[in-house]
Amino acid sequence: MGTHAPGAHGDPTSGHRASGVEDALSPRRVLSSETVYRGRIWDVRSDAFELADGAGTLQRDYIDHPGAVAILPMDEDGRILLLRQYRHPVGMDLWEIPAGLLDVEGEHALDAASRELAEEADLTASQWHILAEFFTSPGSSSEAIRIFLAQGLTEIPHADRHERTDEEAEIEFVWVELEDAVQAVLAGRLHNPSAVVAVLAADAARRRGYASLRPGDTPWPAHPAQR
């Protein structure tokens, strides 16, 4: 069996230390970009680009997505709100958190999150922080999601609530202890990506007293449409 010298490729101790790991923008020369499919919510683009000058042309097709926000509502007792909704592509009822597309021109992510919290959970929040951000499938989609922690919750009066339609009309709610949600994730009982990331991020943040969380209005330069 071969051996690796310290710091060699494949050595887990090589490269950046955990404290210095950070994704970075990496502009490449785009030779052409074409919309090959226009959908109701997102399009499909085909780009030709070079990794480096003279390195040859690569062609990639991907979903051109507006991005989204998701919200983890947390009450004064530390419980979180989950909602159950049918998702046709996977043919399952999934326990999720409130979420929605960034499909309003010029709308700030925090404003979109506030709107979605009201429309999907009948709640407003006085305290907003960022739990996490992620790309859902960066090899095939430009979709970026920012997850907020919403606290200081107030119920919206029944007369002022948004009328939910289609799949949203079947939404059911449950308040659960954060630790129970963590166990559900680790046991493979929760599958929605925003819910999984939010639950685990909230658990990590709780261990630090939530002191490390960024304000809700922090800029979002990693979002492809906000660069």
What are the strands, taking DSSP E only, across 25-74? 29-38, 43-50, 57-64, 68-73
Structure tokens that stand for 212 in this block: 């490390």
Give the CA distances from residue 208 to residues 44, 129, 211, 213, in Å, rounded to whole numbers and listed in that order. Answer: 41, 14, 6, 9
Taking the CB of residue 153, how many other CB atoms lie within 10 A of it?
Answer: 17
Active site residue 168: yes
Report helix, strand or coil for 19. helix
Whole-angstrom Cα distance, residue 71 to residue 147? Answer: 6
Give the CB-side neighbour count of residue 69, counting CA atoms within 13 A. 27
| Residue 124 main-chain phi, psi, to 5 deg | -120, 160
Whole-angstrom Cα distance, residue 224 to residue 27? Answer: 11
Q: Considering the candidates 133, 168, 172, 179, report the single residue annotated as catalytic.
A: 168
Whole-angstrom Cα distance, residue 224 to residue 132? Answer: 16
Whole-angstrom Cα distance, residue 118 to residue 51? Answer: 44
Which residues are annotated as catalytic?
168
